[in-house]
Structure 1
Amino acid sequence: MLDMRLCFTATTVFLALYSTVVHADHPSRKSLADKHAPAGIMGDHLHDKGEWMVEYKYMVMSMEDNRIGETTISDQDAIGPAGPPGGIVVDGIQTNGGATPTQMTMEMHMAHIMYGASDDITLYTMLMMPALTMDHIRGDGNPAGRGGEFTTHNSGFGDTSLGALLRLYSTDSQDLLFNLGCSVPTGDIYRESTAPTNGMMSQPLPYPMRLGSGTFNARPGVTWKYFRDWWSGGVQFQTDLPIGRNYRGYSVSDEFRLNSWTSVLLTDNWSVSLRGEHLWRTDYDGSDPTADNLVISTNVEEFRGGYWYNLGIGTQVMARGHYFNFEFVPTIAQDLDGIQLETDYSVIASWSKAW
């Protein structure tokens, strides 16, 4: 499976290099429906000096069932056999004594603004509003008793992204861009809920239910795009690197994303796309003193990393100056550290307009 995924990435790069040699430049080529990358890609294009762009993007991710490494397990296996202290032992760590997560939905509303400071530099900022919902089953160590179900929810402002896209190299049929990006810790990272214990006591929400990272994060990246007569493609490497630890005493995962995609024009105003994404995350560094490993696996810092391979199937449409972008992104393979909820799919859709 891994060889096939690497082969997809290598094939996309080979086609780009081959086409660079055998095709001539097309001056108007970058103005057609595939001028932007698929919906799951950010920081892939510039704007002319003085040009503005506004975009609204919506993403929903569905996660269900627990997985240890590459193996899916049942909810009952995740909560462990009956009897104290409850839970299971994974990688030498006792966890899920209080509850186990069973599924999670993550929604994200994003407002994106871009401005062409010059023909070679585009500035951007993005405001994010996540809405997080997680379902659970109580374990033996829960004061409300084993077996009951409960749901926690959290929403509000997330971290704010900002930065500059810099043109490193460009021809009529190619662009090489550098993303000098970062994020600002505007998202709340500490809230409590009484739902886990059925109102008997209040507990902090675990790591995946928090709205931000709590740190300033560096987000450098590089993107190469190329355009041919009736198709185009690109390769992007993007990172998300926390700087230090937050006031709760931890830093979230380092994240590395390698994307490659191919888009095919059906008409000048309509294209379809196929994208492969390799995603790596490290485990958390440090710990929140309120994050009790025994209570639930989502509190365990060693259980936050892993590898995911996602396949994006998308379409892009231009209509009267408006640009619509859509992707359905199933997760094809994943290898998770410890025990975590596995990712099933994401849906990403956006509208944008430039003037």
Structure 2
Amino acid sequence: MIRKLILVGCVVAFGSQAFGHGDLRSRADKHAPAGLMGDHVHEPGEWMVEYRYMNMYMDGNRAGTRRLSDAESIAFGATSDPVTNRGASPSSMTHEMHMLHVMRGMTDDITLYTMIMLPSITMDHIRGPMNPAGAGSYFTTHNSGFGDTTIGALLRLYSDADDDLILNLGGSLPTADIFRTTREPTGGMMEQPLPYPMRLGSGTFNARPGITWKRYFDHGSFGTQFQTDLPIGRNYRDYSVGDEFRLNTWYSHVLTDHFSTSLRIENLWRTNYGGADPISPDALISTNVESFRGGYTLNLGVGAAALLNGHLLNVEIVPMLHQDLNGIQLETDWSIVASWSKSF
């Protein structure tokens, strides 16, 4: 009788563990917080379609860690190296991105993906002392269209009942238009190229390798991800965007199988641009200066996810905690990311 009870107990425990393995990866926290990608694979033949929206808001300039007013930003440019903001200084920017993300499982451990991006960028400025339209007045420029296209493969290097280790072999294709002009800065008097932050892509093939480790618990999941974005060579305008390195750590807490919340810490490092666009003078505006593009940012992500009849809704608000920027740049105040995805 005792042997039978032990045997039955072992079968129940084994069955419960097997059910738990599958169940842990089918809850609302099955994906990372909305601001991250490349953290999961799909079964062979399974597709996933996702629409993702991102809005990043930047208000005011920062030199190193010091916040500057519009007037201080123009004054800073008079003594910086190189001298800049003689034509104008940026004052705020909104960067929106619409993304269509498609994934397909090829084997148990390999998933392919692609992403089409549609950025929309609006920047407000104050005119500087050498602007022919008059110092102190404001103007706005806008740019939108197709961005660079992302492609890649996710390789599951290790998996057990609670853990996944996934390698991201990704990259981007230079499908965006990186050179457009405007007459807004000078009130219609002169044509000028849009500065670097307003361009829709990098203009180069970029390598984007990354790696993610996730661990599932009964009441949540923990993960860490290191992701890079590395331009290869220079584009046809004779410059390359800076290298980018992101280290993210997060915890998702499961309130029910269909609803979870998350906290995420992001460390972001960017290097300065290489080369220079030949007709984007440094003196006109600080967003033309290649050595004013790098720096460090610390972000906090607060998110939630809901799994409803196979539809995953994921949202995250990301305020900036700390920034230390090279030269003078617009500071990032916050961003919001929201997505809908469905596997079939």
How does the TM-score come out when normalised to structure 2? 0.94
Residue 47 of structure 1: how far off its partner (Å): 0.3
1:117 aligns with 2:98: no
1:46 aligns with 2:46: no
Task: Name the residue aligned to 1:242.
Answer: 231
Task: Name the residue aligned to 2:11.
Answer: none
| Letter matched to residue 89 of structure 1 | T
Residue 156 of structure 1: how far off its partner (Å): 0.2
Choose the corresponding residue for 1:279, options 268, 288, 298. Answer: 268
Give the secondary structure class of the aligned counterpart of 1:80.
helix
Residue 147 of structure 1: how far off its partner (Å): 1.1
**Deviation by residue 1:321-353 (Cα, 9 ceiling, x = unmatched):** 100000000000000000000000000000000
Residue 201 of structure 1: how far off its partner (Å): 1.0
Q: After the TM superposition, which residues 252-291 of structure 1 pair with which residues of structure 2 at under 5 Å, given as runs? A: 252-291=241-280
Unaligned runs of 5+ in 1: 1-23, 82-86
Equivalent residues, number:
326
| Letter matched to residue 288 of structure 1 | D
**Deviation by residue 1:32-64 (Cα, 9 ceiling, x = unmatched):** 110100000110000000000000000000000
Task: Name the residue aligned to 1:129.
Answer: 118
Q: After the TM superposition, which residues 94-105 of structure 1 pair with which residues of structure 2 at under 5 Å, given as runs? A: 94-105=83-94
RMSD (Å), alpha carbons: 1.0
Unaligned runs of 5+ in 2: 1-16
| Letter matched to residue 131 of structure 2 | N
| Letter matched to residue 144 of structure 2 | S
Residue 80 of structure 1: how far off its partner (Å): 2.1
Q: After the TM superposition, which residues 102-181 of structure 1 pair with which residues of structure 2 at under 5 Å, given as runs? A: 102-181=91-170
Task: Name the residue aligned to 2:78.
Answer: 88
| Letter matched to residue 157 of structure 2 | L
Cα distance in 2, alignment partners of residues 97 and 314 from structure 1? 41
**Deviation by residue 1:15-46 (Cα, 9 ceiling, x = unmatched):** xxxxxxxxx88312111110100000110000
**Deviation by residue 1:269-288 (Cα, 9 ceiling, x = unmatched):** 00000000000000000000
Structure of greater Rg: 2
Cα distance in 1, alignment partners of residues 27 and 324 from structure 2? 38
Task: Name the residue aligned to 1:73.
Answer: 68
1:221 aligns with 2:216: no
Give the secondary structure class of the aligned counterpart of 2:203.
coil
Residue 100 of structure 1: how far off its partner (Å): 0.3
Cα distance in 2, alignment partners of residues 143 and 342 from structure 1? 27
| Letter matched to residue 80 of structure 1 | A
**Deviation by residue 1:212-264 (Cα, 9 ceiling, x = unmatched):** 00000000000000001101110000000000000000000100000000000
| Letter matched to residue 50 of structure 1 | G
How does the TM-score come out when normalised to structure 1? 0.91
